[in-house]
Amino acid sequence: MDSVIDFWFDFSSPYSYIANEWVDAVAARHGRTVRRHAILLGATFQAADLKPPVAYPLKREYVLRDFARSARFEGLPYQPPAQFPIPTQNAARVFWWLQDTQGAAAAADWARAGLRAMFTRGVPLHESAALKALAVEQGLDADAAEAAWNDPEVKARLKRANDEAIAAGVFGAPFFRVDGEPFWGNDRKAQIERWLASGPF
């Protein structure tokens, strides 16, 4: 059996931030490894003819409240971003650049740093200066990071990740696949943990 937990996320997704803080520990507890996929929810929404929850006024009001409450529920810090949602393609491209040049651990570190910056410190990941500063904080070469997010090959890499996500049935984030079973949402963590502990149910 494939020991990988596939984990799709968007740097602009608060529920992805919460789930990202959990997924490595649960994988380790059950002898699994995490395969992260940075994607753009905009692409998967479009493919599935969906809009984000914050596109609907009533639902927006609820989910903004639920983002913060769900973080508190897990004991995680959370600060609502001043602007939300934001375009996160450059952050995602840095993820894939790191994945392909330095490996999964470096990309995972970037994912964690980016999501935490976005949702606990109000760092505007869509602004080049902020993203370069974050790269420096992470010990990366900021100019190389900027060159990466402007590199057509890295852009194509993200595009391919989006296409692969869509082909895998991903229509939201976080989205997980374990032993072929799809789980959508931070609120499926308990089901995933049951699956990992005792198999299909």
Contacting residues toward a second copy, per CB under 8 A: 47-50, 56-59, 61-62, 65-66, 69-70, 72-73, 169, 171, 182, 184-185, 187-188, 190-191, 194, 201
CA distances from 47 to 73, 91, 115, 145, 151 (A): 32, 21, 24, 29, 25
How far apart are CB 90 and a second copy at their closest, in Å?
A: 27
Beta carbon nearer to a second copy, 45 or 84: 45
Measured N-to-C along each axis, helices 14-29 and 189-198 cross at an angle, to the nearest 10 degrees, of 20
Sign of the CA dihedral running 56, 57, 61, 62: negative
How far apart are CB 40 and a second copy at their closest, in Å?
A: 16
Beta carbon nearer to a second copy, 1 or 49: 49
Beta carbon nearer to a second copy, 59 or 116: 59
CA distances from 17 to 11, 47, 58, 179 (A): 8, 23, 23, 23
Beta carbon nearer to a second copy, 70 or 138: 70
Beta carbon nearer to a second copy, 123 or 178: 178
For residue 52, is the peptide bond before it cis, meaning its omega torsion is within 30 degrees of 0? no
**At 167, which helix (H) or strand (E)?**
helix 152-167
Spatial contact of 74 and 21, defined as CB atoms under 8 Å apart: yes
How far apart are CB 77 and a second copy at their closest, in Å?
A: 14
Beta carbon nearer to a second copy, 74 or 151: 74
Tell me the residue type at 149: W
For residue 182, is the peptide bond before it cis, meaning its omega torsion is within 30 degrees of 0? no
How far apart are CB 5 and a second copy at their closest, in Å?
A: 17
How far apart are CB 26 and a second copy at their closest, in Å?
A: 16
Distance CA 178, CA 155 (A): 27
How far apart are CB 64 and a second copy at their closest, in Å?
A: 12
